[in-house]
Amino acid sequence: MKSMSNKIAYQALQAAIACVLLSLCASTLIAQNADTQTATTKTQIPQLFERWKEATAGADATDDDARRIAEGYRSKLPNYDPFTPLAHLTYSERLAKGERVVWEDDALMALVDFGNRGSKLLVVPKYKTNFLTDLTKEQMARVSLVAAAVCDALIVAAGRQPGADDASLKMYVNPPTAVGVRQMRPC
């Protein structure tokens, strides 16, 4: 019986996360389309590229230093890419495989990381991307914004209020030396 109640609780939490994410991302898109600088996320939008660059090449590294290091690792990446094929499945096909995509648009999807006991949500581009350097500045900004919205959704689904100074949040992109699959996925 406990397993069934956990499953129901998980499904309710997943629905709550999806609703909050849809609301946050839709209102943020409206704000972006209106040329407004105000984001509706309460969680601070992360500087993913700066953090990745420092983890990749060091605190004093240039963008070119990080790109050079990333390119040196590109040929060493594993062939395994579970995310790009997942992006092209229907909802029913994902459900049959046990995958949980809690939010998506044409370019990105947020999904539960079951490899980490389901305690993380990943924001994954739906197109092949190995490193942050594969994205345009606009795409990086969008990934960062969605990552912040995902954090807000998790906090709200847990019954708390999101804020810019929440120490329980961690958003990052693995440096090339720590990549375990071919597709980039901010956590």
Query: Quick one: tokens of 71?
Result: 């390119």
Query: Quick one: tokens of 55?
Result: 């983890």
| pTM for the model | 0.74
Rounded Cα distance, 108 and 186, in Å? 11
Note down pLDDT in tens along the chain; length 187 residues.
Answer: 444 444 444 444 444 444 444 444 444 443 444 333 345 788 888 899 999 999 999 999 999 999 999 999 999 998 888 888 899 999 899 989 888 888 899 999 998 887 766 567 889 999 888 999 999 999 999 999 998 888 888 888 888 888 767 666 778 888 998 888 887 766 5
Closest alpha carbon to 86 in 76, 102, 97: 97
